Amino acid sequence: MRVYVLGSGSSGNALLVESSGTRLLVEAGVGPKVAASRLAELGVELGAGELDGIVATHRHGDHFGHAGKLATAFSAPLYLHPGIDGVEPAASVEVRRYDIGRAFRVGALTITTVQVPHDAAQVALRVDDGTHALGIATDVGRVTSGLVGLLGACDAALVEANHCSEMLAFSEYPDVVKRRIGGGWGHLSNAQTAELGARLVGSRLARLWLGHLSRSNNTPARALETVASRARGIDVDVIPEASPVALDVRTTRPHQLGLPF
């Protein structure tokens, strides 16, 4: 399984998952020209009819703002859960609804979702090709047991480490924005993502990529140090913000089973 991260942050989120002849775009926060250009930087050409589907996690603009344009440009169906309502894409766009918690297929890929806390109806995803599985969880207000279970069944995951709580507290953001980001319906701090990493130790998860870092209230070094210190035995890295990147989801590593003794 190959993953092409085209954007991860408030300026626009999108990643392409490619496996077994299927191409799936997760998130629609960049436009078609930007998506094609960033894929070209990674040596990938994507034309109309070459994308099997677009899955959006929620309706915020940096994740969903270009959904209709992308679906039209690449002649791809748009997969939406019931929390993304009132959407009126172009008549040429095929909308396919999926239920949160019920697995569905796009080509060779099986997608499973769980709802996570955010100030919009938001899901985390597991994308499985039968051999490898990728987890995707950004815009998460707090760690839940459902999220831990979903990511623990993956080989690798892209998870947000949005902010450093201390930097946020002393930032120039208005108090209402600070409360939104740092509250239980906003974004994960470095410490919260570290907690998540600690709870995933001993699971199937072998690689954890940190994304959706705040430009103002975090640094890659802070995020990496905080999370890696608790996610012992998991390979932790930070997604570069300024350029697209290609990642491989590797074969599962051995993991311990939770035994009742």
Report all structural domains of the chain as residue ranges with CATH numbers, in order of start.
Answer: 2-248 (3.60.15.10)
For 92-125, what is each residue's pLDDT tens digit?
789 999 999 999 999 999 999 999 999 888 999 9
Residue with tokens 């932790």: 236
The dihedral over CA atoms of 150, 55, 185, 224, expressed in degrees to the nearest 10, equals 60
For 73-90, what is each residue's pLDDT tens digit?
999 999 999 988 766 666
Average pLDDT, the chain: 92
For 29-84, what is each residue's pLDDT tens digit?
999 999 999 999 999 999 999 999 999 998 888 889 999 999 999 999 999 999 88
